[in-house]
C-alpha cells in the first residue's frame, strides 16, 4: 500500500510539472555587434584601450516570463593604444537576467569595465577579466550601476596586464 501511495504521489507530481515543461519555447536572437566591431575605452586605464570583437556567436534566449540568458562564443581583443600590446580573451560568460530584478549575473569568464565615479564619487574605474559569478546591480530609476559584487569571482586587472 505504501508503494502504491508513493507511486501515486510521484505520478501526480509528474503531471503537475508537465505544463511547465510544455511552456512557451524561449525566443533566441543574436546578441550584440558583429565580429570586427571595435570601440575605445578612455579614462579607465592610464592609456586608451581598444576593444575589438574577434568572434561573436552569442545568442540571447528570452523566456516567456521575461528572464534572459546570453550564451555562445564571444572573444575580444584588448589593445593598449600607447604600446600596441594586445591580449585576446574568450569572454563567453554566460549572463543571466532575472525577471523583476535590477541585477544581472555574469558567470564563467567575462570582461567587466566601469569608469571612475561610476560606483560613487571618488571610486576608480576598472577593466577586469572575471572568472566566476559577478552580480551587477542597476538603479531602477536611472539604469546606472549601483553595485558590483564579485562574491567568489577571481579577477585579472587588464589595465595592469596591458601595461606590463
Per-residue pLDDT at 23: 63
Task: Answer whether residue 84 is part of any domain.
Answer: yes
- For range 102-129, the mean pLDDT: 87
Q: How confident is the model at residue 127 (pLDDT cuts 50, 70, 90)?
A: very high
Split into its structural domains, the chain has a count of 1
Task: Answer whether residue 86 is part of any domain.
Answer: yes
Task: Answer whether residue 43 is part of any domain.
Answer: yes
Task: Answer whether residue 58 is part of any domain.
Answer: yes
Task: Answer whether residue 20 is part of any domain.
Answer: no
Task: Answer whether residue 75 is part of any domain.
Answer: yes
Task: Answer whether residue 1 is part of any domain.
Answer: no
Task: Answer whether residue 5 is part of any domain.
Answer: no
- Please list, in sequence order, all residues whose beta carbon lies within 8 angstroms of the beta carbon of residue 39, skipping any fewer than 6 positions away: 50, 51
Q: What residues make up the domain containing 159?
A: 25-163
3-class SS at 24?
Answer: coil
Percent share of the chain, pLDDT over 90: 43
The 3-class SS string of 61-83 reads: EECCCCCEEEECCEEEEEEECCC
Amino acid at each position: 500500500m505504501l508503494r502504491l501511495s508513493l507511486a501515486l504521489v510521484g505520478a501526480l507530481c509528474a503531471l503537475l510539472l508537465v505544463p511547465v515543461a510544455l511552456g512557451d519555447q524561449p525566443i533566441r536572437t543574436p546578441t550584440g555587434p558583429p565580429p570586427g566591431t571595435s570601440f575605445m575605452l578612455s579614462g579607465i586605464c592610464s592609456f586608451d584601450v581598444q576593444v575589438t570583437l574577434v568572434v561573436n556567436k552569442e545568442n540571447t534566449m528570452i523566456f516567456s516570463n521575461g528572464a534572459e540568458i546570453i550564451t555562445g562564443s564571444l572573444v575580444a581583443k584588448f589593445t593598449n593604444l600607447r604600446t600596441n600590446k594586445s591580449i585576446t580573451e574568450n569572454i563567453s560568460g554566460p549572463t543571466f537576467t532575472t525577471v523583476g530584478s535590477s541585477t544581472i549575473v555574469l558567470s564563467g569568464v567575462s570582461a567587466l569595465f566601469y569608469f571612475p565615479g561610476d560606483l560613487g564619487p571618488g571610486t576608480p574605474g576598472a577593466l577586469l577579466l572575471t572568472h566566476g559569478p559577478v552580480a551587477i546591480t542597476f538603479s531602477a530609476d536611472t539604469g546606472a550601476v549601483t553595485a558590483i559584487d564579485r562574491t567568489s569571482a577571481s579577477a585579472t586587472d587588464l589595465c595592469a596586464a596591458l601595461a606590463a
